[in-house]
Structure 1
Amino acid sequence: MRILLVEDEVRLSEALVYTLKKNNYIVDAAFDGVTGLEMAETGIYNVIILDRMLPGAEGLDVLKALRKQGITTPVLILTAKDTIKDRVEGLDSGADDYLIKPFSKNELLARIRALGRRQTETIVNEVIKIGNIVFNSLKGEIHMNGKITKLSSKESQIFEILAKNKNRVVAKEQILERIWGFQSDVELNNIEVYLSYLRKKLVLSGCSLVIETIRGSGYCIKEVYSHVSEA
């Protein structure tokens, strides 16, 4: 599970990052609202922990902006504001949970687990119909005419991004950020390796889709049709 922590108190942020990583979570940290929003907009996170009082952009403004864009990532508001009015305001803005400072780390971890389960339940039946195939993003399977082509985890994530942006160019950097995160040292060339494997599997599946490389821009998935020449 990948978590985005948006908290401007450096010591608290460092302590939380340490705790979360110790519990086997992948964590990216932002220290202001503007950066937090930019990172959250990538859609790569399973849970967002968001402080209310942030420099650059207030936490609830960040939350409202995400919900306005249709980003449904579970958000846990972390704040010292503990009145009923504050809680109602946070929940009405689109928060999924609300935790008051100071808090127990065990309670925080329990709430994160609950939010993670909630998200899994919402995507369990997610399938994408594209071209002449059905792609099960949860299982990483391409279904066509009763034949199943299995994709690796990274191939599946790349294919999902491209499939959801059919006929639109997706930049290399966007793929890198969404799959490997902002704080990854993975090189852009690594994407080419996974795309090579993915292209071969698409050909073997017999589907009507191709992934084109748009020089200097990124990649685009398109549907191609075979033409039968007339005699």
Structure 2
Amino acid sequence: MYLLLVDDDGRLTRLLDHLLRQAGHTVDVAHDGRVAAALMAQGDYDLLVLDWMLPHEAGISLCQRARAEGFEGGILMLTARDALEDRLEGFAAGADDYLLKPFEPEELLARLEALGRRACRPLSQRCLQVGGWTLECDDRRVIHGERSVALTLREFQLLELLMRRAGHSVPRELIYERLWGRDQAVTDNALDATLRLLRRKLERVAARQPIETLRGLGYRFTDEA
């Protein structure tokens, strides 16, 4: 799943970002409401994890904004506010679930998995389609025509990122951040190896592979490659 995690606690977001990536999810992180709103406008997220109290714009306002703009994915609110009135306000704003701080990270993961299963998302959001290519997000499989191939976690995360931004260049720096996280020490060889293996798999199901190298810019997914 593609998640937006919004919390101004840097230590907590680093921990959750790591756990979510280890569980196979793609994660964007924001530490204030202004940045979160900008990411929400650009990203096609499956789930939002919103802290209630945030600089610049509160999580409850972001929740209301998302629903007003037609967001149909799951929204989980994080907060230390445990009054019934607060919980009711969160649900009225469009939240699907509510987790009180402090919490165990494993409980958050379990709640997100449950939200992902029942969130009202159209089928197209579980399958990314660009031209003749289809990425099955549930079982990490890419399809072209009548042929398909399974992907490893890293291959899937890389292809998902490129397909979500099809037609646009994706810098190497962004790929490192999305696949491995800001705090992970990763060599250039890790990305090069993942990309090489992914391209080979794509060539198995089609006479060509759709990932272009843009020198000095990064990579681009195009069905015309």
| TM-score, normalised by the number of residues in structure 2 | 0.68
Task: Please identify the structure whose Cα radius of gyration is greater.
Answer: 1
Residue 153 of structure 1 corresponds to 153
Contact 1:76 1:95 in 2 (8 A): yes
The count of corresponding residues between Structure 1 and Structure 2 is: 215
**1:55/1:219 Cα in 2 relative to 1: closer, same or farther (>3 Å)?**
same
Could you say what secondary structure the match of 1:60 adopts?
A: helix
In the alignment, is residue 119 of structure 1 matched against residue 120 of structure 2?
no
Quick one: distance in 2 between partners of 1:166 and 1:48? Answer: 23
Contact 1:173 1:188 in 2 (8 A): no
Quick one: distance in 2 between partners of 1:80 and 1:71? Answer: 25
The Cα offsets for residues 3-34 of structure 1, whole Å up to 9 and x where unpaired, read as: 946254x89x59x959x96xx87999876445
Residue 219 of structure 1 corresponds to 219
* Gapped regions of structure 1 (runs ≥ 5): 226-231
**1:172/1:77 Cα in 2 relative to 1: closer, same or farther (>3 Å)?**
same
Letter in 2 for 1:142: V
Letter in 2 for 1:78: T
Quick one: distance in 2 between partners of 1:196 and 1:124? Answer: 32
**1:187/1:76 Cα in 2 relative to 1: closer, same or farther (>3 Å)?**
farther
Matches within 5 A, 1:74-223: 74-80=75-81, 82-84=83-85, 86-100=86-100, 105=103, 109-110=106-107, 112-122=109-119, 126-223=126-223
Contact 2:59 2:77 in 1 (8 A): no
Could you say what secondary structure the match of 1:219 adopts?
A: strand
Distance apart, 1:159 and its partner CA? 1.1
| Percent identity of equivalent pairs | 27
Contact 2:53 2:79 in 1 (8 A): no
Matches within 5 A, 1:34-53: 34=34, 49-53=49-53
**1:137/1:75 Cα in 2 relative to 1: closer, same or farther (>3 Å)?**
same
